[in-house]
Structure 1
């Protein structure tokens, strides 16, 4: 059992095993489908300090430090084809293709900090950005489809479905180059202090029925109150 970890211990784990770190499993008790020697990639670490993984066998079981046995693969055991083509998107600039080392340290250098994995909805791609971009006050870069604004430089690569980062093919490169072609500009308030207006208090013009709808006490087309 790992037990409860303090916040600083979780932060230490996140720094030691950033997303993209390649891991080899030495032993996981009670899991016959997780053989010793299985390799995988760290996708993210939760608030309990567990490493959520993408394994070669398609499993996604998390690793628990001090319970499971595993180690980071050294650079010499990484694939020989260790460079991938990515699309780099910097604040205020048009995106451009670049060959980078397929290694989390090179990725951290590119985004100037610890990397954060963000899935993208099209063409089996994802992006990596600075996971503390907002906290560090980095400039707003591009807005994603769900409304969040990525701060600081990010880059896009492809995914093989097993958690491995791959080079973008020509179709993927063209699609995301066009998607993020135009630089976007945001104020500091928009980027770092976004507020959402939610109607909570009734106004003077609201009827009794309006108020009851707002509180969830009245169904549409029905004067009865919900249970």
Structure 2
């Protein structure tokens, strides 16, 4: 498993932020502020990690579909990996 990955962190009221973060459960939980859940993003191969205490009713197509801070990662089953530059460009626009 890769120890550090490049992700997008999206916080309420802020633009998506590119970050390098540890690739582990604890780091993800600390960033989103709770128990994590994973949902598909609008970009194939990428997933959204969000606070599972705030359930989603549908696939998160817009930023407003997700409450609180969330992380977007690329997934190479079974684990998260760094986003590609084209992922960052597309997802930054979608979730701005």
TM-score using structure 2 length:
0.86
Aligned partner (choices 73, 84, 90) of residue 157 of structure 1: 73
Q: How far apart are 1:121 and its partner, in Å?
A: 3.4
Structure with the higher strand share, 1 or 2: 2
1:132 and 2:53 equivalent? yes
User: Post-superposition, which runs of at least 4 consecutive aligned residues in structure 1 deviate over 2 A?
Assistant: 143-146
Question: What residue is the counterpart of 1:107 in the other structure?
Answer: 28
Q: How far apart are 1:133 and its partner, in Å?
A: 2.8
Q: After superposition, give the CA deviation of every residue in 1:21-69 in whole Å (9 maximum; x if it has no partner).
A: xxxxxxxxxxxxxxxxxxxxxxxxxxxxxxxxxxxxxxxxxxxxxxxxx
Q: Flag the structure with more relative contact order, 1 or 2, with Cα contacts below 8 A and sequence separation at least 6.
A: 2
Question: What residue is the counterpart of 2:82 in the other structure?
Answer: 167
| CA–CA distance in structure 2, aligned partners of residues 82 and 155 of structure 1 | 16
| CA–CA distance in structure 2, aligned partners of residues 107 and 128 of structure 1 | 8
Q: Which runs of 5+ in 2 are unaligned?
A: none
TM-score using structure 1 length:
0.38
Q: After superposition, give the CA deviation of every residue in 1:84-117 in whole Å (9 maximum; x if it has no partner).
A: 0000000111111001110001100000101111
In structure 2, the residue corresponding to 1:118 is in which secondary structure? strand
Taking only aligned residues, the RMSD between alpha carbons, in angstroms, comes to 2.1
How many residues end up aligned between the 2 structures?
93
Q: How far apart are 1:144 and its partner, in Å?
A: 2.7
| CA–CA distance in structure 1, aligned partners of residues 54 and 13 of structure 2 | 15
Structure with bigger gyration radius: 1
Aligned partner (choices 40, 43, 46) of residue 119 of structure 1: 40
| CA–CA distance in structure 2, aligned partners of residues 121 and 97 of structure 1 | 18
Q: After superposition, give the CA deviation of every residue in 1:95-154 in whole Å (9 maximum; x if it has no partner).
A: 1100111000110000010111111232310010000136xxxxxxxx9328x7211100
In structure 1, the residue corresponding to 2:66 is in which secondary structure? strand
1:144 and 2:60 equivalent? yes
1:84 and 1:99 in contact (8 A); partners too? yes
| CA–CA distance in structure 2, aligned partners of residues 93 and 128 of structure 1 | 17
